[in-house]
Amino acid sequence: MTTALVAPDRPAHRDPNLLRWLAAYAASMAGDGVYYIALSWAAVQAGTPAQAGLVMSASALPRAVLMLGGGVIADRLGPRRVVIGSDAVRCAAVLAVAALLFVTGLGLWPLAALALVFGTVDAVFVPAVGALPARITDKAQLARVQGMRGLAYRFAVILGAPLGGLAVAFGGAVAAFGTAGLLIAVSIPLLISVRVRELPPDDRAADGTTTDGTTTPWRDLAAGLHYIRRHRVLAPLMLAIALGDLGFTGPLNVGLTLLADERGWGAAGMGWVLAGFGVGAGTASTVLTVRGRLPHAGRSAGGSLVAGCVAIGALAYVPGVLAAVGIALLIGLLAGLSGVLCGALLQTHSDPACLGRVTAVSSLVSLGLAPLTMPLSAAAIGAWGTGPVFVVSAAVSGLGGVVALGVRDLRRAELPG
């Protein structure tokens, strides 16, 4: 359903249309959480640890390779249509594998195929999700929507992880995959009911239309990349986001696991540290949701990245779990604040006609390239220890803040409101 009747003056938290989209997003993300738990458990049960690792990483390659093309598809076909189609394919694939495992038992090949399907679909799903808010709410509400989306994601993580564990405990991989499919299925009718608006003519500046009125995907991609490169806010913002993600991903994933093992915190201690991070990140999203905007957004994003990098480096040197939880809460707050502000700036400063491509470029680093730092971080920690690796990673993340504070147009960037 495409319409120009999306009310621009209604606050986001009181807009039923936007709340339906947010509920669909939360259901889809909760399904993702259950899916990943089911996939990891089933892969470990069906093969060796090395084989399980290959299955778990099978989605990374198609996601990274196809992400930019996914942004073009989202902009050409419309983000709502792409999100609906993506969720429908993911739902069907998960339920099909659940049925296959029920009939034949666990096997690595169906799991690997499912991971490849998810990675391929993610390449179009992620850019479309990033482009959709601009079609269903006014630009002045996009910053608040970014905070609401962060809260919905945190809720989905809190719901999905225990739900996936319970499903595995009571019904094995079949029940867990079935639960994931049903949660994703909930999002589809909600998305169908979401109203979107057409782009006005002056919002179509970043397409690849030629003089004869035709366009191709390659021209669209080139036009989108050119649009980002010459944009005074988006170009440095992409670099800041990339550096922040590259420095953050290794320490806060595989690095934290190795740190907990080194300090004897155990799985429970690591869980408390992750909980502290989640509380901090959720608090940052709540602040933007309640306030709707923060003044000096570019400066605040850069300052949060710089302060956050100091906290990341300090995490490797705290002696006990309690102190680590406090540092993790601070990291979550600062990283969450920089993340929601960078996301809000990306949303509000982009032409809606190319938001899919803009989201694809920013997501390519965080979802495609940054995960590649995890094995490198693990190898580096094995060679030099946790402290030096955390400090170097923190310095890389801090460079993103230096970029945000050093580039005048990004430093002075503001959110509408």
Residue matched to tokens 């899916």: 35
In a domain, 348, yes or no: yes
Is residue 123 located within the same domain as residue 39?
A: yes
Specify if 78 maps to a domain: yes
Amino acid found at 153: Y
- 172 pLDDT more than 80: yes
Same domain, 135 and 162: yes
Give domain status of residue 212, yes or no: no
Q: Which residues contact 391 (CB under 8 A, 6 or more apart)?
A: 313, 316
Contact predicate 305/410, CB 8 Å: no
In a domain, 416, yes or no: no
Is the domain of 265 the same as that of 194?
Answer: no
Q: Choose the final residue of a domain: 198, 230, 263.
A: 198
Pair 183, 271 in one domain: no
Same domain, 352 and 386: yes
**Side-chain half-sphere of 69: how many Cα atoms within 13 Å?**
9
Show the domain range for 224: 217-411
Both 237 and 281 in one domain: the answer is yes
Q: Residue 196 forms beta bridges with which residues?
A: 2
Q: Could you tell me the pTM of the whole model? A: 0.86
Q: What is the pLDDT of residue 417?
A: 67
In the predicted structure, residue 370 carries a pLDDT above the cut 70: yes
Residue 202 has pLDDT above 50, yes or no: no
> Per the domain annotation, does 278 fall within a domain?
yes
For tokens 């084989």, name the residue. Answer: 51
- Compute the radius of gyration of the chain from its Cα atoms: 21
In a domain, 228, yes or no: yes
Query: Residue 29 pLDDT > 90, yes or no?
Result: yes
Whether residue 155 has pLDDT greater than 70: yes
pLDDT, tens digit (0-9, with 9 covering 90-100), for 317-362: 988 899 999 999 999 999 999 999 999 999 999 998 899 999 999 9
CATH of the domain at 236: 1.20.1250.20
What are the two backbone dihedrals, phi and then psi, of residue 354, each rounded to the nearest 5 degrees? -125, 20
Let me know whether 320 and 359 are in one domain: yes
- Flag whether 417 is in a domain: no
Domains of the chain: total? 2
Residue 207 has a pLDDT of: 54
Tell me what the mean pLDDT of segment 28-36 comes to. 92
Is residue 310 located within the same domain as residue 402?
yes
Residues 223, 189 within the same domain: no
Q: Say whether both 260 and 389 belong to one domain.
A: yes
Mean per-residue pLDDT for 73-85?
Answer: 94
Is the same domain home to 166 and 222?
no
Cα separation, 31 vs 114, in Å, equals: 14
Residue 22's pLDDT is 95
**Residue 397 token pair:** 């993340």
Q: How far apart are CA 197 and CA 126, in angstroms?
A: 20
Which of 226, 258, 204, 301 minimizes the C-alpha distance to 387?
Answer: 258
How many Cα atoms within 13 Å fall on the side-chain side of residue 118?
29
User: Is the C-alpha dihedral spanning 75, 80, 85, 88 positive or negative?
Assistant: positive
| 384 found inside a domain | yes
Out of 198, 233, 255, a domain closes at: 198
Both 114 and 23 in a single domain?
A: yes
pLDDT tens digits for 379-417? 888 888 888 989 999 999 999 999 999 999 999 999 886
Give me the mean pLDDT over the 2-7 stretch.
Answer: 46
Q: For residues 277 and 252, is the Cβ–Cβ distance under 8 A?
A: yes
pLDDT at 211: 38
pLDDT digit string, tens, across residues 276-307: 888 999 999 998 888 878 889 999 999 999 99
Estimate the crossing angle of helix 108-131 against helix 49-57, to 10 degrees.
30
Among 171, 198, 225, residue at a domain's last position: 198
Q: What is the Cα–Cα distance from 271 to 179, expressed in whole angstroms?
A: 24
